[in-house]
């Protein structure tokens, strides 16, 4: 039985028609609130609602830029808001969040942000001490204002300023002009001087607590709050003074007295005329400071006739630049805020002919072969969208949608497939000559494999393609990419016109339609991303590396790795006992029980009671993380410190074991999930559980590796890893003859480098000097400074600088290469690996030194670490291909950065070891050879080498 979706005017069982899913391209208005917005309240007991205006009444929204930026900076803890490049973003995040919310809630037709300029204003001319004494701008705030300007530009929110005037004056002028033109005006600020602008047309939204809680001031609410009219407010402010502006108050006169006087006399002018009538000390104080009060009044009056280049009518909201928003939010790492932005500021959908047109057929039993023959056999690429659940090496398919070129689409319920359907679908899915496009296809691949439906011929995984185009982005959600590249919205009604179709009385057709629209979106998105990757010279990476690797990783996830559950249980008991014993030891030293995992209690003991040196200041006091404790252990010989460090170590080991035990499946294996789109450098990551993070450096940590064992039916585990691959890549990329010679000397690399750098015989290089040179060699590749090297080695910065100078004097090619990498990246905007994998670093040209220096370190690291990631991926593909071609039963299980772990079938060890060595050493040809170390054993630890 075929069921086709119909147009909004046809019946559920009617004929086929074009069904459009339409969406957003910009924002000139707002939808209903979907994200937490500002709590706007009234100072009176009953909160007021947003001011009502008819659709014909234009609404002008004016924001005080610096006032709100500072509010945001102090409202959000800077330690919780920064990018991986080290750029603080608390002010940017808070301001942007507030802007999104107020645009959504107030639905303005016109908008502007007023900004202060760094030049003096007319108030400084009148009063030289105006705003004198203000503290230095916080270092973490510097640079964020320029980012806020970029946010406003991307959202098409204009900024307005005027030389010689403050933002308040700009707002006052625009508000006055807007009200005169019949606009409803909303002013958002944290400065109470704006209350003088309030009238029947002008409303002030005053930030009360941080930036999320605002008070809405109308004339009645100003009266209720202060007992004065908005016109009287500047008179009151002149008496009260303003310490932030360095405007003195009248000594002995508080806000209550100031209010009483203005109420009694009606205005400051009348109060001044009758100042002699006020008795007592307050009257004498007023008379003694009348000149200051009058000056205050002049300075608090906002100018309403600032010469501006714009008028309110010219501030009409415009569609915002979606691509600019994406690029900026990628840089700022505002993933959640981006989602809120799209949810809050969606505008009217594009015309229907710009939507996804599909002719959907819900295939019944026995209908798969015919549809595939008509629509999906050698007629171009087909979009594929699978619905279901997957992870830990397996998956369950709930529905499969196919979208062919031309608009035809089909939806398949896997539970209704006949043997003939399975045969036809299986042959088509497995055919490498039938090109397919999908999104994040590894999960669906696992689910299809459970149904014995292997998938081949994927020519685009739109998540992987987007990752190569936008490696700095954190999320590659299909809907977000569709909005970004195709300017369409997948959140529209799954059935056109909101029509709810049914299948045999069920409610499944709406989901079928939504799945088919996503399949169509994958098809069109793949074309857009193909073109983008060609422009970025990344199409080969997708085709030859990342896409083939998906199949390899899916196989590794399905295989998993066997574990000795009894050994893990014993380790869990052992580490649990160690944690308790170490905690008891710490309690005995301190003299009372306390929670070793509580930063607050540790701060009290370490800094208040023991008086130890203070560590880095954080919001809650002083940090007590592992690095801080290690630093304290160097600064002090107090016996508590090594005990705390020991507790951290064993607690971490216990946590690792605790996380592994629940992951063991019914046949005693653990299945991780590999992710290709997390690390911007191209490295694979492992999660749920993270098997790339199993400890190896300590004997205790290696006990956990002993829990990973060869599985039933296999003979041994084999591990193979690259020896010093990053230093070899450094030698190759730099072309430094000395470093290249070091790899050909036959000596230990770091011993040879130390001898060359310091002019010593190899025999005179002691272990300490070797350790220092090793740390420096690897550190240089990661942009390590002399100060950083000093901290790492526990030596003085001057001594570390001497080591670096000696190193570069001998290995000048390395120095020149490192300088050249940064210079070229600054010019190009990105770095490249040996295979052309790019990492875009816009912060290289930032005027913020902290951001720029962090980007420079990333520019040094990305080509080296990224090239290592490329090479191991090539090796994995080669090993997997060779195993399949040779008919071996041995298989890849894990990749841990530079190491591969295989499970070796009986009788295949020698042949597979030769195969692995050959594929890994030939993965890429460099000026220095790739060297591979191999080990074998019944456990992962035994297989170490």
Q: Is 260 helix (H, G, I), strand (E, B) or coil?
A: helix
514-567 pLDDT, tens digit each: 999 999 999 999 999 999 999 999 999 999 999 999 999 999 999 999 999 999
Burial 537-560 (b: 16+ CB within 10 A, else e): ebbebbeebbbbbbbbbbbbbbbb
Q: Is 226 helix (H, G, I), strand (E, B) or coil?
A: helix
In this structure, what DSSP letter does residue 474 have? S
Using an 8 Å Cβ cutoff, are 716 and 709 in contact?
no
Give the pLDDT of residue 837.
95
Q: How far is CA 124 from the centre of its chain?
A: 43
Using an 8 Å Cβ cutoff, are 113 and 174 in contact?
no
Q: How far apart are CA 212 and CA 618, in angstroms?
A: 23
Q: pLDDT-based confidence at 46, cuts 50/70/90?
A: very low
Structural fold of domain 3-12+355-560? Nucleotidyltransferase; domain 5 (3.30.420)
Burial 401-433 (b: 16+ CB within 10 A, else e): bbbbeebbbbbbbbeebeeebeebbbebbeeee
453-462 pLDDT, tens digit each: 999 999 999 9
Top-confidence residue, 685 or 324:
685
Using an 8 Å Cβ cutoff, are 693 and 686 in contact?
yes
In sequence order, what are the residues at sequence separation of 6 or more whose Cβ sits closer than 8 angstroms to the Cβ of residue 604?
none
Nearest CA to 112 out of 173, 51, 40, 31 is that of: 173
Which of 534-548, 807-821, 888-902 is predicted with the least confidence, judged by mean pLDDT?
807-821
In sequence order, what are the residues at sequence separation of 6 or more whose Cβ sits closer than 8 angstroms to the Cβ of residue 697?
none
Q: pLDDT-based confidence at 371, cuts 50/70/90?
A: very high
Sign for the CA dihedral angle at 474, 838, 464, 358 comes to positive
Using an 8 Å Cβ cutoff, are 30 and 104 in contact?
yes
Residue 44: pLDDT above 50? no
Rounded (10°) angle between helices 767-780 and 725-734: 60
Give the pLDDT of residue 803.
83
Domain ranges in the chain? 3-12+355-560, 39-46+56-228+308-326, 574-670, 726-864
- Percent share of the chain, pLDDT over 90: 50
> Cα dist. 465→104, 133, 475, 555, 677 in Å?
33, 54, 13, 21, 10
Residue 51: pLDDT above 60? no
Q: How far apart are CA 445 and CA 438, in angstroms?
A: 10
Using an 8 Å Cβ cutoff, are 732 and 944 in contact?
no
Q: How far apart are CA 858 and CA 873, in angstroms?
A: 21
Give the pLDDT of residue 793.
76
Q: How far apart are CA 394 and CA 558, in angstroms?
A: 6
Count of beta carbons in the 10 Å neighbourhood of residue 467? 23
Q: How far apart are CA 169 and CA 167, in angstroms?
A: 5
Q: How far apart are CA 234 and CA 237, in angstroms?
A: 5
Structural fold of domain 726-864? DNA polymerase; domain 1 (1.10.150)
Q: Are strands 891-896 and 899-904 parallel, antiparallel or unpaired?
A: antiparallel
416-442 pLDDT, tens digit each: 999 999 999 999 999 999 999 999 999
Nearest-5° Cα angle at 544, 691 to 889 = 55
Give the pLDDT of residue 131.
64
Residue 490: pLDDT above 80? no
Sign for the CA dihedral angle at 495, 499, 503, 505 comes to positive
Give the pLDDT of residue 833.
95
Q: How far apart are CA 689 and CA 900, in angstroms?
A: 17
Q: How far is CA 134 from the centre of its chain?
A: 35
Dihedral Cα 511, 513, 515, 521, nearest 10 deg: -150
Q: How far apart are CA 562 and CA 903, in angstroms?
A: 10
Give the pLDDT of residue 296.
65
5-14 pLDDT, tens digit each: 433 322 233 3
Residue 38: pLDDT above 60? no
Which of 39-43, 455-459, 917-921 is predicted with the least confidence, judged by mean pLDDT?
39-43
Phi-psi category of 107—alpha, beta or left, where left has phi over 0 and alpha has psi -120 to 50?
left
Q: pLDDT-based confidence at 343, cuts 50/70/90?
A: confident
Q: How far apart are CA 750 and CA 712, in angstroms?
A: 41
3-state secondary structure 431-460: CCCCCEEECCCHHHHHHHHHCCCCCCCEEE
Give the pLDDT of residue 754.
86
Q: Give mean pLDDT, residues 876-886.
A: 98
152-171 pLDDT, tens digit each: 998 999 999 998 888 999 99
The CATH class given to the 574-670 domain equals: mainly alpha
In sequence order, what are the residues at sequence separation of 6 or more whose Cβ sits closer than 8 angstroms to the Cβ of residue 644?
586, 596, 602, 629
Using an 8 Å Cβ cutoff, are 283 and 289 in contact?
no
Q: How far apart are CA 160 and CA 308, in angstroms?
A: 8
Give the pLDDT of residue 130.
67
Using an 8 Å Cβ cutoff, are 857 and 788 in contact?
no
Q: How far apart are CA 551 and CA 545, in angstroms?
A: 11
Nearest-5° Cα angle at 558, 553 to 563 = 110
Q: pLDDT-based confidence at 580, cuts 50/70/90?
A: very high
Residue 216: pLDDT above 80? yes
Q: How far apart are CA 235 and CA 297, in angstroms?
A: 6
Using an 8 Å Cβ cutoff, are 168 and 124 in contact?
no
Q: How far apart are CA 657 and CA 635, in angstroms?
A: 33
Q: Give mean pLDDT, residues 820-831.
A: 91
> How far is the first Cα of the chain from the last one, in angstroms, to the nearest whole number?
61
Q: pLDDT-based confidence at 734, cuts 50/70/90?
A: very high
Q: Give mean pLDDT, residues 268-284.
A: 69
Q: Which residues pair with 111 in a beta bridge?
A: 61
The CATH class given to the 39-46+56-228+308-326 domain equals: alpha beta
Q: pLDDT-based confidence at 506, cuts 50/70/90?
A: very low
Phi-psi category of 724—alpha, beta or left, where left has phi over 0 and alpha has psi -120 to 50?
left
Residue 269: pLDDT above 50? yes
694-716 pLDDT, tens digit each: 988 888 889 999 999 999 999 99
Q: How far apart are CA 418 and CA 415, in angstroms?
A: 9
Q: pLDDT-based confidence at 22, cuts 50/70/90?
A: very low
In sequence order, what are the residues at sequence separation of 6 or more whose Cβ sits closer than 8 angstroms to the Cβ of residue 588?
none
Q: pLDDT-based confidence at 621, cuts 50/70/90?
A: confident
Residue 664: pLDDT above 90? yes
In sequence order, what E strands does 96-254 have?
A: 110-114, 159-160, 184-189, 202-209, 213-217
Residue 836: pLDDT above 70? yes
Number of helices (H) and strands (E), helices first, in the chain?
35, 27
Rounded (10°) angle between helices 767-780 and 797-810: 80
Mean pLDDT over all residues of the chain? 84
Q: What are phi and psi of 621, to 5 degrees?
A: 135, -115
Q: Most confidently modeled of 308-322, 731-745, 895-909?
A: 895-909
Give the pLDDT of residue 23.
31
In this structure, what DSSP letter does residue 4 have? E
Q: pLDDT-based confidence at 192, cuts 50/70/90?
A: confident
Q: How far apart are CA 68 and CA 82, in angstroms?
A: 19
Residue 468: pLDDT above 90? yes
What's the burial of 71, exposed, middle or buried (CB within 10 Å: 0-12/13-18/19+)? buried
Q: What are phi and psi of 627, to 5 degrees?
A: -65, -40
In sequence order, what are the residues at sequence separation of 6 or more whose Cβ sits closer than 8 angstroms to the Cβ of residue 297?
234, 235, 238, 268
Q: pLDDT-based confidence at 297, cuts 50/70/90?
A: confident
Residue 389: pLDDT above 80? yes
Q: Is 594 helix (H, G, I), strand (E, B) or coil?
A: coil
Top-confidence residue, 40 or 926:
926
Sign for the CA dihedral angle at 523, 528, 532, 537 comes to positive
């Amino acid at each position: 039985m075929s069921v086709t979706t119909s147009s909004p005017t046809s019946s559920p069982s009617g004929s086929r028609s074009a069904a459009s899913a339409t969406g957003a391209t910009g924002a000139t208005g707002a939808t209903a609130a979907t994200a937490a917005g500002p709590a706007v309240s009234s100072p009176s007991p009953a909160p007021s609602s947003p001011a009502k205006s008819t659709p014909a009444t234009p609404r002008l929204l004016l924001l005080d830029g610096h006032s709100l930026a500072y509010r945001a900076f102090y409202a959000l803890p800077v330690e919780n808001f920064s990018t991986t490049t080290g750029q603080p973003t608390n002010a940017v995040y808070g301001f942007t969040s507030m802007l999104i919310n107020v645009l959504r809630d107030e639905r303005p037709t016109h908008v502007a942000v007023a900004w202060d300029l760094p030049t003096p204003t007319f108030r400084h001319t009148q009063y030289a001490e105006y705003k004198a004494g203000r503290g230095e701008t916080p270092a973490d705030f510097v640079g964020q204002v320029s980012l806020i300007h970029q946010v406003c530009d991307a959202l098409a929110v204009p900024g307005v300023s005027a030389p010689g005037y403050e933002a308040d004056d700009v707002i006052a002028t625009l508000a006055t002009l807007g009200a005169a033109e019949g606009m409803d005006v909303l002013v958002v600020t944290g400065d109470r001087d704006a209350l003088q602008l309030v009238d029947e047309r002008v409303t002030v939204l005053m930030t009360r607590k941080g930036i999320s809680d605002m008070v809405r001031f109308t004339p009645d609410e100003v009266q209720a709050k202060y007992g004065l009219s908005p016109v009287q407010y500047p008179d009151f402010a002149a008496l009260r003074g303003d310490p932030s502006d360095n405007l003195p108050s009248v000594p002995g006169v508080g806000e209550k007295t100031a209010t009483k006087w203005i109420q009694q006399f009606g205005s400051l002018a009348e109060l001044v005329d009758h100042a002699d009538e006020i008795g007592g000390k307050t009257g004498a104080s007023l008379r003694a400071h009348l000149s200051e009060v009058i000056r205050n009044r002049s300075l608090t009056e906002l100018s309403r006739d600032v010469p501006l280049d714009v008028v309110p009518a010219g501030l009409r909201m415009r569609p915002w630049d979606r691509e600019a928003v994406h690029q900026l939010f990628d840089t700022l790492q505002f993933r959640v805020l981006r989602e809120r932005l799209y949810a809050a500021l969606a505008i009217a959908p594009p015309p229907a002919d710009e939507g996804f047109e599909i002719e959907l057929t819900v295939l019944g039993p026995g209908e798969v072969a015919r549809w595939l023959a008509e629509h999906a056999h050698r007629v171009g690429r087909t979009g594929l969208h699978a619905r279901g659940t997957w992870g830990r090496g397996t998956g369950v398919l709930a529905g499969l949608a196919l979208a062919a070129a031309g608009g035809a689409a089909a939806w398949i319920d896997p539970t209704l497939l006949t043997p003939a359907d399975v045969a036809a679908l299986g042959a088509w899915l497995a055919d490498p000559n039938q090109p397919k496009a999908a999104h994040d296809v590894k999960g669906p691949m696992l689910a299809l494999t459970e149904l014995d439906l292997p998938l081949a011929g994927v020519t685009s995984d739109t998540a992987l393609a987007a990752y190569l185009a936008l490696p700095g982005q954190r999320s590659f959600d299909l809907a977000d990419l569709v909005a970004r590249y195709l300017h369409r919205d997948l959140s529209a009604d799954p059935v056109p016109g909101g029509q709810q179709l049914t299948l045999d009385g069920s409610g499944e057709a709406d989901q079928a339609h939504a799945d088919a629209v996503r399949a169509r979106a994958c098809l069109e998105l793949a074309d857009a991303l193909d073109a983008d990757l060609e422009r970025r010279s990344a199409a080969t990476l997708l085709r030859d590396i990342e896409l083939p690797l998906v199949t390899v990783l899916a196989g590794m996830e399905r295989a998993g790795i066997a574990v000795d559950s009894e050994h893990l249980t014993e380790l869990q008991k052992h580490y649990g006992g160690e944690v308790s014993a170490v905690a008891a030891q710490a309690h005995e030293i301190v003299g009372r029980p306390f929670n070793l995992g509580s930063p607050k209690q540790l701060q009290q003991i370490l800094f208040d009671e023991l008086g130890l040196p203070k560590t880095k200041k954080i919001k809650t006091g002083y940090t007590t993380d592992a690095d801080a404790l290690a630093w304290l252990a160097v600064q002090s010989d107090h016996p508590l410190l090594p005990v705390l460090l020991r507790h951290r170590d064993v607690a971490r080991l216990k946590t690792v074991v605790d996380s592994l035990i629940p992951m063991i499946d019914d046949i005693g294996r653990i299945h991780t999930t590999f992710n290709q789109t997390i690390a911007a450098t191209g490295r694979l990551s492992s999660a749920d559980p993270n098997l790339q993070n199993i400890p190896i450096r300590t004997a205790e940590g290696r006990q956990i590796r002993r829990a990973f064992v060869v599985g039933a039916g296999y003979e041994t585990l084999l591990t193979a890893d690259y020896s010093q691959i990053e230093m070899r890549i450094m030698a190759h990329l730099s072309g430094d003859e000395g470093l290249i010679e070091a790899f050909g000397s036959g000596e230990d690399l770091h011993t040879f480098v130390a001898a060359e750098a310091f002019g010593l015989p190899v025999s005179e290089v002691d272990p300490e000097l070797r350790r220092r040179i090793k740390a420096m060699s690897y550190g240089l590749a990661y942009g390590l400074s002399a100060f950083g090297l000093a901290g790492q080695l526990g030596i003085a910065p001057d001594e570390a600088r001497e080591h670096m100078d000696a190193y570069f004097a001998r290995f000048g090619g390395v120095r020149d290469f490192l300088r050249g990498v940064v210079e070229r990246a600054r010019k190009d905007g990105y770095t490249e690996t040996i295979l052309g994998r790019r990492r875009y670093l816009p912060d290289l040209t930032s005027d913020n030194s902290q951001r720029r220096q962090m980007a420079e370190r990333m520019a040094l690291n990305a080509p080296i670490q990224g090239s290592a990631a490329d090479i191991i991926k090539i090796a994995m593909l080669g090993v997997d291909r060779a195993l399949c071609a040779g008919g071996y039963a041995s298989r890849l299980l894990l990749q841990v950065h530079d190491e591969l772990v295989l499970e070796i079938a009986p009788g295949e060890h020698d042949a597979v070891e030769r195969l692995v060595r050959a594929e890994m050493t030939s993965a890429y040809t460099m000026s220095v050879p790739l060297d591979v170390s191999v080990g074998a054993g019944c456990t992962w630890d035994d297989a170490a080498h």
